[in-house]
Amino acid sequence: MNQQSRTTGTLNDLIAIARDGQEFYQDASTRIDDVELKSLFTRIAGTKATIIAELGAAVQAVGGDPEDSGTLRGSMQEMYARVRAALGDKEYSYVAELEESEDRLLHAFEDAVKDDSTPAAARSVVTRLMPEVRACHDLMRARKHAMKGAS
């Protein structure tokens, strides 16, 4: 596999996982009643859209086609969250599942940075976007723990 293909593959994997998160946040924002959480979910969906756009631009810069869909795992997690929310605390269920989605994206970014086979072009954009990914992750983790402690 050549450098361009590895760069495209690495970044497209991250795009698909970030797209899962973006779609999940958008969906969750329409299913909950808490105004503050709606606003938070909408804001994070926007952050995911920015991450997807920047990763996509990096894919195009090396001559590739950016991924335009999410993953089966992401779709299944979103469906599970809906079921979980229907059976219990709706807001907490979405926050907990979104935090899991954040874990998945953060680990994928960390793996891309640590992997010696990640091309320099991919590593550069991933490293640049890592603070935003980590901030979203930490925000949702803190929100989940705060909600868990309040119940």
137 Cβ neighbours under 8 A, 6+ residues apart:
99, 102, 103, 105, 106
Q: Tokens 């606003």, residue? A: 39
For 13-66, write each residue's pLDDT tens digit.
Answer: 999 999 999 999 999 999 999 999 999 999 999 999 999 999 999 999 989 999
CA-CA distance, 52 to 149, in Å (whole number)? Answer: 33
Superfamily name and number for 3-150: Ferritin, core subunit, four-helix bundle (1.20.1260.10)
Show the tokens assigned to 119.
């091309």
Instruction: Give the start-to-end residue ranges of the domains of the chain.
Output: 3-150
DSSP 118: S
- pLDDT 10s digits, 112-146: 999 888 888 889 999 999 999 999 999 999 999 99
